[in-house]
């Protein structure tokens, strides 16, 4: 079922806009909570890399992107994890902006 159709069904079932808004808000809160859990997991994993290599993640990522860190597999994993964290932060900001 297409997403827009599902939204139309919800609108039909909950014609009162306040009720529909409450349901959508609960869904957005659930998504926000899930993203906060991901952020915690990413932060924990990033901290392990920072501790191991003695450098914070933003500095590492800048150096990695400029080619100054080499091409060890750990560095690719660290960079990918850092980018996932940045993406989750953006999503959290979007979610928080509507709640």
* DSSP-assigned states of every residue in 45-78: HHHHHHHHHTS-HHHHHHHHHTT-S---HHHHHH
Q: What is the pTM of this model?
A: 0.86
Question: Does any domain span residue 57?
Answer: yes
Q: What are phi and psi of 54, to 5 degrees?
A: 70, 35
Domain count, the chain: 1
Residues 78, 57 contacting (CB under 8 angstroms): yes
Question: Does any domain span residue 8?
Answer: no
Encode pLDDT of 42-94 as tens digits.
999 999 999 999 999 999 999 999 999 999 999 999 999 999 999 999 999 99
Question: Does any domain span residue 6?
Answer: no
Q: State how far the Cα of 6 lies from the Cα of 26, in Å rounded to an integer.
A: 16
Give the structural domain span for 47: 22-98
Q: State how far the Cα of 36 lies from the Cα of 22, in Å rounded to an integer.
A: 21
């Amino acid at each position: 079922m297409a997403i827009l159709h599902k939204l139309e069904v919800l609108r039909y079932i909950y014609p009162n806009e306040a009720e529909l808004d409450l349901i959508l808000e609960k869904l957005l809160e659930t998504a926000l909570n899930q993203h906060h859990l991901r952020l915690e997991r990413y932060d924990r994993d990033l901290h392990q890399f920072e501790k191991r290599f003695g450098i914070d993640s933003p500095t590492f990522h800048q150096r990695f992107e400029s080619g100054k860190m080499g091409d060890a597999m750990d560095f690719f994993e660290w960079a990918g994890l850092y980018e996932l964290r940045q993406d989750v932060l953006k999503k959290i900001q979007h979610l928080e902006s509507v709640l």
